[in-house]
Copies of this chain bind each other. A is one copy, B any other.
C-alpha cells in the first residue's frame, strides 16, 4: 500500500508534507492507525516512502489539529478521543453549523443552490443503490459545500476540522445513519434556497440533534474511551 500511494502522491505537485498530512489524517480517520498507537517517525517515513523531515512537519500540524498527541522525547501517538468529547464536539458544532446555514441562506447564489441540489440527487441515487460508502462521502461533501458557501473562512476551517473529528469517532455509525439523515439534508437545502436565515438555522439544528442522538447510540459499540 505504500508504493501505489507514493506513486499517486508523486504525480501531483503538492509539497510532500501536505500529502503526508492528508494521508496521515485519512489513515487515522479510517482506523488504519488506532487510537493510542505509537507513530514513530521512521515508521511513518517508511510507510509513506519519504524521509523524516516531511513526516515531522506533518506530525506537528496533525498535533495542532488534534489527531495526534506528541510527548516530548517520546514521539507521537494517535490521539484517543474520549466519549466526553462527543458532547463537547456537538455543542460547538451546534453553534457553528447553524451559523454556517444562516450565512449560506443569506449569501447563496443560484449556482450554489444548484450544486447543492446536484449533491442531493446523487445522494438519493446512491441511497437507492445502497452504496453506503458513497452516501457517506456525499454527506461530507454537502456539509463542506455549505460551509464554503457561508463565505466565512474561519467558520469554514474550524467547522471542517470538527467535522473530520466527528467522522473519525463515528466512522462506522455515520455510514449507517446516512440514509436516514438524507431527508434532513433536503430540508436544509430547501431552507438555504429560501434565503430565510432563521429557517436554515433551525433546519441545521434539527439535523445536528438527530446526528448527535445517533452518535450517542453508536458510541456504545465503537472504540470509545480507553
Contact = CB atoms under 8 A, between A and B. Distances in A.
A105 to B, nearest CB: 14
A10 interface: yes
B71 A5 contact: yes
Question: From DSSP, what is the main secondary structure of chain A's interface residues?
Answer: helix
Given A69-B2, A158-B158, A99 B88 contact: no
Given A1-B79, A57-B60, A65-B64, A71 B9 contact: yes
B152 A88 contact: yes
Contacts of A221: none
Interface in A61-108: 61, 63-66, 69, 71-74, 79-80, 82, 85, 88-89, 91-92, 95-96, 98-99, 103
A204 B63 CA distance: 30
A154 B88 contact: yes
Contacts of A74: 9-10
Contacts of A10: 71-74
B91 A95 contact: no
B73 A9 contact: yes
A190 B36 CA distance: 41
A95 B99 contact: yes
A88 B85 CA distance: 26
Interface string A2-26: 1001100111011101000000000
A6 B162 CA distance: 23
A155 interface: yes
Contacts of A6: 69, 71-72
A51 interface: no
B154 A89 contact: yes
Interface string A101-140: 0010000000000000000000000000000000000000
Interface in A143-193: 152-155, 157-158, 162
Contacts of A207: none
A129 B46 CA distance: 60
A65 B10 CA distance: 21
